[in-house]
Structure 1
Amino acid sequence: LGNFFADLDRLITLHQRKYDKLVIFKKSMLEKMFPKDGESVPEIRFAGFTDPWEQRQLGELVTTTIGGGTPSTSNPAYWDGEIPWIQSSNVLEDTLFDVDIPKAITQKGLEESAAQIVPENSIAVVTHVGVGKLIYLPFQYSTSQDFISLCGLKGDARYTCYALWKRLQEDLHIVQGSAIKGITKEDLLEKNLPMPSVEEQAQIGVLFSQLDNLITLHQRKLELLQNIKKSLLDKMFA
């Protein structure tokens, strides 16, 4: 038994180290593949790209924005419908393309509340409780009032998500120590993002999404091994 659990612990440690290294690598690449303040080119970029990046306000990069609302939770006619409805707690801190949406509203709930249908391929940005979180959704959805959704993206969707997430995290870090309860739509749309050509955006977006997929894979393997160990400890030492 001792050898078995020692081997299991070594396997858990191995996956933990792989996961930690990938997280650190992603953080480093986020710093090096985006220009530093006052600079127009990043430290690292893909071969073939030499043009300087531009600073563009977020409002220039979207066609429209849509808010949200919450149908009355005391009226069952508004809930358990077919329209996905997300709230801030559904969106994880560092996850930009994967979300569990346990709730859905009905057409009646949509019509009799401030909730709205958001078109597919939009970015839902948390602007109240949980500022700094965002999620890209490839399908139609609705949200609570804690979101502003960015619709009709004019650049590469994945790149825009990473660039905006990085900017929001930097802003949170600058004012660290003060409680940020919200951000207005106007302040959000005025945020500057560094924008290369659409072709370079696409390659950067693919790189970081692949990194995120690897991180998620190792995280799930790690959680699976930890759960197996816990289950075996409970059953073998009952």
Structure 2
Amino acid sequence: MAFVLLIPSARRKTQWNLYLTRRNEICTPLNRPDFSPNLSGKRGKAFRFTNAWEQRKLGAIVQITMGQSPDGSTYSDTPADYILVQGNADLKNGWVCPRVWTTQKTKFATAGDLIMSVRAPAGSVGKTAYDVVLGRGVASLKGNEFIYQSLVKMDFDGYWKAESTGSTFESLSSDSISTAELYCPSEDEQHKIGIFLSRLDSLLTLHQRQQNGGYLWLENSAKQVCFAIITASGYRSTKKALSDQLR
């Protein structure tokens, strides 16, 4: 029987070599004692999923607030006023970065809320460390770290781009956000998975600084592989699932 080997282009081979190299660099620390994926928090005892994951609508598990822009005459550059978040331009490295203020309080989000851009590029998500006023280009969600990581993955997978409407300027409606479905474990397991992925984010940030931001798409790809494995692992311990797939 003939054996056929498909050879990719030189450019594609280079891209995959870069991806696999960066993936190994990023995921190697998962085996260190100080970065243990044992989500139970106890060394030597691997965490196992104990409950079935349920498919839930986003609006049924988090409070969603769509933004409403204040009057243009109320905008200011005075930090003593309310911080105004209008869109993706106000999010930097996953966090709200204040640049515009307003004296008018319309729709509001509190520190710790998640902020999602609902206009081009629709679906970008971050967090806020401040109480902020929401412009019409964003929405806030009161969700935990697991919800945040789920939304990031949905954006990475292009889910929100497919859901957005508008031929000139894409946008997301309240209904398209609230009816979006995702799989969720118990709250306890959400908390543990959220902590693990948050620590992985910190590791990626360190690598980005060391590489001056280079290969960002490769690092994000490696993280999404980790998230997909956790989501699909079910009965297996997270550590075994990761080591099986990423070594």
Could you tell me the TM-score, scaled by structure 1's length? 0.61
**1:219 is matched with which residue?**
208
Q: Point out where structure 1 has 5 or more consecutive residues left out of the alignment.
A: 1-15, 26-45, 226-238
* 1:214 Cα deviation from its structure 2 partner: 1.3
**1:159 is matched with which residue?**
146
1:186 aligns with 2:175: yes
* 1:139 Cα deviation from its structure 2 partner: 2.9
* 1:22 Cα deviation from its structure 2 partner: 7.0
The structure-2 alpha-carbon separation of the partners of 1:103 and 1:23, relative to structure 1 and needing over 3 Å to count, comes to: farther
1:142 aligns with 2:133: yes
1:200 aligns with 2:224: no
2: distance between equivalents of 1:215 and 1:56?
A: 29
Spell out, residue by residue over 1:55-102, the C-alpha distance to the aligned partner (whole angstroms, 9 max, x if none): 110001123524231431x666x442432212321225xx43x33222
Q: 2:99 aligns with which of 97, 102, 111?
A: 102
* 1:218 Cα deviation from its structure 2 partner: 2.1
One-letter amino acid matched to 2:22: D
* 1:147 Cα deviation from its structure 2 partner: 0.8
* 1:145 Cα deviation from its structure 2 partner: 1.0
* 1:17 Cα deviation from its structure 2 partner: 8.7
Q: Give secondary structure in 2 for the equivalent of 1:65.
A: strand
* 1:169 Cα deviation from its structure 2 partner: 3.2
**2:91 is matched with which residue?**
91
**1:125 is matched with which residue?**
116
2: distance between equivalents of 1:204 and 1:210?
A: 10
Residue pair 1:124, 1:149 contacting (<8 A) in 2 also: yes
2: distance between equivalents of 1:116 and 1:79?
A: 19
2: distance between equivalents of 1:136 and 1:21?
A: 26
Runs (4+) off by over 4 Å: 16-19, 22-25, 172-176
Spell out, residue by residue over 1:119-165, the C-alpha distance to the aligned partner (whole angstroms, 9 max, x if none): 232211111121120112243111221011123x4xxx110101122
Q: Give secondary structure in 2 for the equivalent of 1:132.
A: coil
Q: 1:116 aligns with which of 92, 101, 107?
A: 107
1:50 aligns with 2:81: no
1: distance between equivalents of 2:126 and 2:141?
A: 10
* 1:117 Cα deviation from its structure 2 partner: 2.4
2: distance between equivalents of 1:175 and 1:19?
A: 34
* 1:215 Cα deviation from its structure 2 partner: 1.2
Q: Point out where structure 2 has 5 or more consecutive residues left out of the alignment.
A: 1-17, 28-45, 215-247
Q: Give secondary structure in 1 for the equivalent of 2:175.
A: helix
Q: Give secondary structure in 1 for the equivalent of 2:81.
A: strand
1:61 aligns with 2:61: yes
**1:35 is matched with which residue?**
none
What is the alpha-carbon root mean square deviation over aligned residues? Answer: 3.3
1: distance between equivalents of 2:137 and 2:150?
A: 21
* 1:104 Cα deviation from its structure 2 partner: 2.1
One-letter amino acid matched to 1:62: V
**1:21 is matched with which residue?**
23
2: distance between equivalents of 1:184 and 1:22?
A: 39
Residue pair 1:57, 1:190 contacting (<8 A) in 2 also: yes
**1:6 is matched with which residue?**
none
One-letter amino acid matched to 2:210: K
